[in-house]
Each structure stands twice: as C-alpha cells, then as structure tokens.
Structure 1
C-alpha cells in the first residue's frame, strides 16, 4: 500500500532494467488448483471482484494466485475491466495512445502498473494477457491512485504537468510547472521544507489550470491531483481515509464510462478493498475504497483476501519478514489442519467463513486480529506457506 511517505520512495525516477520475457499464461501451482477453482466459482457471477493482498505487496504465492485468477475471470467469466491500485494518469494516457492507433508494448503496460508489481516474477505471466486484451480493445485497464512519482512513469511525472498548464499565461504557466516539478521530486531545500504555503500555491495552480480547459479528461486529472495535494501535511489516519476516498472517486469516474454490462476486477491491498476495514487503525469508521464499492454494488461486489499459516513476505525491494506464528485456534490453523496434505492453498467461501464467527486471523496486515471476518471479506484464500515475491531488480 502506497502512502505519502512511499511516494517519496518512488522519487528515484531513473528507469529500471526492462522486464524479463513473460510466460505465455498465468498459472497457479497444481496444489492450489482446487482453491483457484473455488474462487472462480464464487467470483464468476459478480459485477466487481476486489482482489486483495498484504500491505507491502510482497506476497509471492498470493500474487501468483491472483494472476492466474485474473486470467480465468477474463477467459471464463467475462470480466473485461481491471483497475489497479496504480497511477490514474498513466493509464488514462495509455488509453489515449491506444485510441490513436498505436499498439502498446508490455513494457508500457508494466510502467503504468508501477513498481509495486511490474518487477515481480509472479506478475510477468499476466502482462501479455493485459497487453493483448488492451490492444485488441477487449480489455479496459485503469489506475485508481492519484499520486505522482512512480518509477519510470514519464507521462505522469513529466508530461502531465505540461499538458495541464498549457493554456495558462506564460509566466504563470512556468511558475506552476516548476511548483509541480518540485512536489513530484520532493525538491525542497533543507532549510525551507515543503510547507502549507507550498501546498496552497499548488492548489491554486491546479484550480487556475482548470479554468483554461473544457476537456473532461483533463478536468478529471486536475480533480485527482487536487485531492492528492490536498492530503499533504495531514496526519496518517486522515491521509489514509482521504486517499481511499480519492481512489473511489477515480473508480466512479472510470466505471461511469464503461458499458453497463462491464465486469470489473480491482487489484490492490486488502486493507483498501475489504468491505469493512474498521478493524484497522487506518479506517476506524471504515470509509475505505472497498466499503464504498460495496455500498454501491451490494452483493454484486466480492472482496477476496489472503493469508497463510506460516512463511515470509517481501518488504521493499529485497528485505524479508517472517509471518507471525499462527495461534492454535486461528482461522489459518483450523483451515490448514482440515486440508488434504497435497493442497497448498484452501479457499474459504462466504458460507464457511460466516460459520467461524469471531476468530483470530491475519488477512489485513500479517497481524492476528479477532473479529468476524465474514463482515470484512466475502472469502479468504489461506496458503499453507507464503513466500516472498521474487523481484527481477
């Protein structure tokens, strides 16, 4: 999950090494096939499939499973849209380029998806699925995140500010472009760090830029950028809630432009996509993206979470963290204890999940919490053992 702090991390804007050649089709392990089939069965008839993961985006088995799940939801269930917890602006630009008749490469799709997944070995088999469908016009792709500063996202970090300020008077245009550049790159002197005055100046720039265009897409990008800047200098809890509100606004804008029959996959962190995240310190009154989506779609939306009995996950580019020991009576311990020895993953659907009632599980942040998980998620995939995602960098 990205925050204002992790935005700073992305400001090493030098391009990373190109992606390795993708596999022909995403597949889950044979030992996870039964769990995958169960998830497909329950998700197939839904309108919105929200596919979560841990907050560090470094769970390898989860990512491999999700890639295979997305492929099947497209091929078997008629899902035609994927929204990522990724740059709203990069994906809007990809759509513009595609409509111009240019064929987009997998590297361009990967750049828009961003550094949370684009360099992971587990994500590579999904890239040709995304690129082929997008170029053929059978698959819509979008980003929900309003932040700038992603590695290798040249449109969002360089071209976007120029495009949005193009209609301003020359002197004002130059000043606003400079202000936007400084904010993206966090380029402020140590003795005069980013301040409320800088924030106010940026918001004024965006408001004035909005007066120079009637283009709906440019106005949408300006609204999204204004929400990003508007969170600057807020406390963590408020910042998280406002970021999810902004992602929902982008979700709503994008989905309003889809055919009514469109079926949507959302790929992001479980904390954002759960139908109720009030058990976390970040969304004490819920108000996350998933709760807003469920308020609109009701039972036509389905939030899928992931957890594991043991193992490790990746933090950042290379660091690893061990999962906490599962309590004896936890959901993970009970689910795996009742599973066949040759099954590496178990899918727990809505009916079974509700039967557990209040129980300890770690499907939010790899930390055990005792709550009624059926109020939080519609289903959970429990792995026997999680492993860190493999980075190609």
Structure 2
C-alpha cells in the first residue's frame, strides 16, 4: 500500500459541476482548422453542454489516450470561447494550483508553473501544450479561474509542494515543533525515505503535525483570511489518511469538498469544467461497487440537471504511455456499444446523447478502462459518450519533472 501511494506520487503527476478549463482562440488556430474536431456530432455535444453549469470531461483510467486528449483540449477551448465557461478544475494537486493563483495575482507566474501544477499525466504530452498556453493566457487576464481538486501530495512535477509548502504550513507552529514538522513534511514531499519502514515510522509524526497545524491555523485565523492555509492543511491531513484504507472513496469525497471550496472562493467563476478520468466524472458507479461514491455522483446530487458527465471510448486502435509499448485495444464485440455506435456510420467520431445512450440499453463498453470492457446501462453512468473510431497513445515529449527551476 505504501509503495503504491509513493509510486503514484512519483510517476507523472496527480492529476471535476459546472467548471471547465480551456485555451485561447489564437493558440488554437490549428486546432480550429482540424476537420476531425469540427463535426456536426461535436456541435450536438456543445449544444447539450453549453447550457450546463458544470461539465465533467473524463477519459480512460490509464491516461494513455492521445486522440481523446487532443479532443478534450479542443472541447475546453470551445466551451470557454462559445459557451462562456470561466473555470477549469483539474484532477491535479490542489496545493500547487493555490500557489499558482497567488503567483498570477503577484505577476510572477509563468506557463511552466501551470504545466507543473497540471502534472505529468498530461503536461508531458505535445497534445496538452496548446492547452497550457491557452489557459495560462486566460488565467493571467482573469478570464478563467484554474484550480486543482486532488488532495494527493508530492507529485513528480510539483515545485511548491516540495519546497515552500512545508515551511508555510509549519509557520503556524511554535519551535521546536515547527522545525520538526517542516522537516517531516519536506521529507515526505521529496520522498526522503530509504525504505517503506522509514515512512511507517514517520507517518505517526506526520499525523501529529497535520493536526497541530490545523489547530495553529484556527488559532491564528487573521493570518489566513482567505482560508487557503486551512484548506491546504485539511487536504494534507486527508492525504495522510489515504493509506488507512478506502482510498478511492476518500479521494473522490475530498475532490468534491475542494470543488465546493473553490466555487465559494470564486463565486464569479461559476461555469466550471472539470478535467478528470471517467471513473471520477461518472454519476453512478454502484454497478461496480455498491459502496463506491465518485466525484460526479456528489456533483450530480447537488446540481442535478445543471451538471453533465462526458465519457470517451474507442472502437479500435491503441493506448498507453512510453516507454512501454502501446497496448492494442481488443476487437470490439459485434454487440458492444462501440460497434453498434458505428454501425452504418462512416465518420471518425460519434456522440451519443442521453436519449441515445438510454436506447442502447445494457451493453458492454470501455469508457472507464480500455483494458476492461464493462457491461452497464451507460446512460446511468454518464450523460454523454464520445466514441472514436480509432484511439492512439499520446505523444510524450518530455520527462515528468518540473519545467520550472527548483529553488536553491
């Protein structure tokens, strides 16, 4: 379990209703000219989404779908430019996005800071580069508010979490506890352990630090008028609790609570795009596990018809992330949702709206996991589904490490 959390933190980056993040029309000139992304099917999708308050845009759980990624980038731009969406929340660490917002207000932010905050699941790809450029310009001019939803701490591309965050939170304590906790948090963020046992030994001390920090912030509320220190401390304590079990539900509940906090923090940015995996966007996953509660389930319970969850799937092709070899999608069965969606269709993309999804009934499809087709009534899982004729892996053009220079 410990190794799993460490590996997640170090792999590529951590990665939700009406919040959405997208890029600028100038940057996306090439994308706008791409006939693959200018289809009547996507126009139908936009017509369904434009009137909503929150849209959750999912993807396969492997985060290895380049065609989907390219399409999501263009969708975000179109939702911002054509539908007045003005916020984008990522399935990414909350800590570095809070620091990014401060830096934008101070005039010291950069596109590299945004890329690092988004994290290596997406920022290492060429497909996401236009998104970073576009969204940074929109955020800098205060047209779009950007935020992270994930409580997980210490991603591979984090700079703030691994450098200034330990000092800022420990600042609410008195010595000697201040120095001890700053050391422990810094050690965790940079995974300064020789083995899992060292982390086990430190976990109790980290928990005590987290509790003490929250108490210290509450006692010095004038030092945190916006509440950013308090929300980061709460998330940090929640991150530590993930290793005690039920991590999926804990993580989605935390992302929902962060969604609510961001929305109250910036009530003027209330048309929201959430960029995440479909397992988080889904409005109901009880067919997989009766106890499973996703981010999308909370948002749909709150906003009902004002929220919409979108999933993506593919008829054929491949997926994966270098340096591993691409994984070929298994041939779709004749009665699968993907095969039926493309029956008699010559286009490369099909959008299934809520009524169409319902008409398909219970069927086998792979929007949640390209490696594991699942049988479900998909209209109960998502509100709309984009089916691609062919998927391909993203183009990884850089390693998962900070683009910013790490402070000395």
When normalised by structure 1's length, the TM-score is 0.90
Q: Is the 8 A contact 2:5 2:243 kept in 1?
A: no
Q: Counterpart in 1 of 2:359?
A: 355
Please state how far the C-alpha of 1:278 moved relative to its aligned partner.
2.2
Question: How many angstroms apart in 1 are the aligned matches of 2:234 and 2:121?
Answer: 24
Alignment of 1:88-127 (within 5 A): 88-100=94-106, 102=107, 104-127=109-132
Structure 2 gaps, min length 5: 13-24, 399-408
Q: Counterpart in 1 of 2:265?
A: 257
Q: In structure 2, the residue corresponding to 1:287 is in which secondary structure?
A: coil
Q: Is the 8 A contact 1:199 1:232 kept in 2?
A: no
Specify which of 197, 208, 212 is matched with residue 208 of structure 1: 212
Q: Is the 8 A contact 1:57 1:116 kept in 2?
A: yes
Q: In structure 2, the residue corresponding to 1:363 is in which secondary structure?
A: coil
Q: Counterpart in 1 of 2:295?
A: 289
Q: Which moved more, 1:153-162 or 1:203-212?
A: 203-212
Please state how far the C-alpha of 1:318 moved relative to its aligned partner.
4.3
Question: How many angstroms apart in 2 are the aligned matches of 1:221 and 1:5?
Answer: 23
Specify which of 231, 237, 247 is matched with residue 255 of structure 2: 247
Post-superposition Cα deviations, 1:10-69, rounded to whole Å, max 9, x if no partner, equal 4379xxxxxxxx982172741342232222111000000000001121101100110000
Question: How many angstroms apart in 2 are the aligned matches of 1:23 and 1:9?
Answer: 35
Q: Counterpart in 2 of 1:221?
A: 232
Post-superposition Cα deviations, 1:321-358, rounded to whole Å, max 9, x if no partner, equal 1112211111100111231x2x2111111111111111
Q: Counterpart in 2 of 1:180?
A: 185
Q: Is the 8 A contact 1:7 1:148 kept in 2?
A: no
Question: How many angstroms apart in 1 are the aligned matches of 2:69 and 2:253?
Answer: 25
For these two proteins, the number of residue pairs brought into alignment is: 374
When normalised by structure 2's length, the TM-score is 0.87
Structure 1 gaps, min length 5: 14-21
Q: Counterpart in 2 of 1:5?
A: 4
Q: Counterpart in 2 of 1:380?
A: 385
Post-superposition Cα deviations, 1:128-154, rounded to whole Å, max 9, x if no partner, equal 220111000110000001112222311
Specify which of 119, 125, 133 is matched with residue 128 of structure 1: 133
Please state how far the C-alpha of 1:391 moved relative to its aligned partner.
0.6
Q: CA RMSD in A?
A: 2.1
Q: Counterpart in 2 of 1:165?
A: 170
1:24 aligns with 2:27: yes
Question: How many angstroms apart in 2 are the aligned matches of 1:115 and 1:291?
Answer: 26
Q: In structure 2, the residue corresponding to 1:374 is in which secondary structure?
A: helix
